[in-house]
Amino acid sequence: MVQALFGSTPIQAQSGDRLVSKVVGAAIAALFKRSDKVEANVRAEPVAKLLQGSVDGFDFIGNGMLMYNGLRIAVMELYLQAVSIDFSAIFAGQVKLRQPTQAVMRVVLTEDDLTASFNTPFIVEKLQRLQYEGQPLQFNQTEMTVTPDKTLAFESHVRIGDARHLTAVDFSAEIEVENRRKIQFVNVKYGGDEDSQNLAKALIDHVNNLLDLDKFALEGTQLRVDRVRIQKDALVFYGSARIDHFPKGKKR
């Protein structure tokens, strides 16, 4: 099979690294419903090391990525070192790791990504698990923005039970990471009247319990965040991803 692919020319003179890069990039892209741009670069020197499944490093950069659950990611970067793969699986268009590996990770979520994500059925269903004063909640027109003082602002119109009117929820908060895996809204500033603030406080407690990365990780992966930065119009996460086995993408 190897000879059929590379011919009689030594593998060093061929594009084995580009082949692996293409397969790995396609496999990662398959984990998402849509991607605007995907670039993968596998490094192996000499390239013949690939036949033994040895990779010196692997870089992946994706832009405009839409997950199957509706969550959006503006930028995802993964940087791996010394990866061991099953090279024979590459010919079937698959990525199989011989052992778990660790990747350095950078993820960017814009204001638009956050707003779109908080309005997906995936997130709305989780928000509406909150019972407030024994009543179910219905969220409408939720919006997330970055404020000039680099906090994250949340606005939504919430129907409590069968109430005819909607309660406006308005708060801003700083972002912290607890135990490298729980994203938390802290130092919260509330807007609105007393009823609005009481509802917002209940919502903060609920959301802080929801934002556990272990609940959102793809199969076979574990995400950890070391640092969060709020930039002009985006939220940037820096951390790592442990990959025990390569997740399988959904069929399109």
Query: Minimal CA–CA distance to 173: which of 143, 197, 150, 142?
Result: 150
Residue 10 and residue 185: Cα distance in Å, rounded? 56
Same domain, 69 and 10: yes
Residue 242 and residue 132: Cα distance in Å, rounded? 37
Choose the final residue of a domain: 51, 66, 99: 99
Same domain, 62 and 138: no
Question: Which uninterrupted H or E stretch holds 141?
Answer: strand 137-146
Query: Within a domain: residue 240?
Result: no
Residue 87 and residue 245: Cα distance in Å, rounded? 15
Residue 154 and residue 203: Cα distance in Å, rounded? 11
Residue 143 and residue 183: Cα distance in Å, rounded? 18
Question: Which uninterrupted H or E stretch holds 65?
Answer: strand 54-66
Same domain, 149 and 62: no
Beta bridge partners of 138: 159
Residue 227 and residue 241: Cα distance in Å, rounded? 14
Query: Within a domain: residue 83?
Result: yes
- Report yes or no: 210 and 167 within 8 Å, Cβ to Cβ: no
Same domain, 154 and 124: yes
Same domain, 91 and 143: no
Domain count, the chain: 2
The rounded Cα 210 to chain-centroid distance in angstroms is: 15
Choose the final residue of a domain: 99, 129, 150: 99
DSSP state of 239: E
Token duo for residue 72: 């959006």
Query: Within a domain: residue 124?
Result: yes
Query: Within a domain: residue 251?
Result: no
Question: Which uninterrupted H or E stretch holds 62?
Answer: strand 54-66
Beta bridge partners of 139: 158
What's the pLDDT at 10? 40
Query: Within a domain: residue 252?
Result: no
Same domain, 128 and 75: no
Token duo for residue 50: 């690939």
Residue 16 and residue 51: Cα distance in Å, rounded? 9
- Report yes or no: 42 and 12 within 8 Å, Cβ to Cβ: no
Query: Within a domain: residue 197?
Result: yes
* Domain that residue 50 falls in: 2-99
Same domain, 77 and 121: no
What's the pLDDT at 72? 93
Residue 252 and residue 250: Cα distance in Å, rounded? 6
Query: Within a domain: residue 20?
Result: yes
What's the pLDDT at 18? 80
Same domain, 78 and 123: no
Residue 252 and residue 247: Cα distance in Å, rounded? 15
Beta bridge partners of 66: 34, 72
Query: Within a domain: residue 104?
Result: no
Reduced to 3 states, what is the DSSP secondary structure of residue 136? coil
Choose the final residue of a domain: 74, 99, 124: 99
Same domain, 75 and 124: no
Cβ within 8 Å of residue 39, ≥6 positions away: 25, 59, 60, 61, 62
Same domain, 120 and 174: yes
What's the pLDDT at 215? 80
pTM: 0.85
Token duo for residue 97: 């790791």
Per-residue pLDDT tens digits of the chain, which is 252 residues long: 333 333 333 444 346 678 788 888 888 888 889 999 988 888 888 777 777 878 888 899 999 999 988 999 999 999 988 888 887 787 777 888 888 888 999 999 999 999 999 999 999 999 999 989 899 999 998 999 999 899 999 999 999 999 999 999 999 999 999 999 999 999 999 999 999 999 999 999 999 998 898 887 777 888 999 999 998 889 999 999 988 887 766 554
Same domain, 132 and 87: no
- Report yes or no: 59 and 79 within 8 Å, Cβ to Cβ: yes
Same domain, 15 and 91: yes
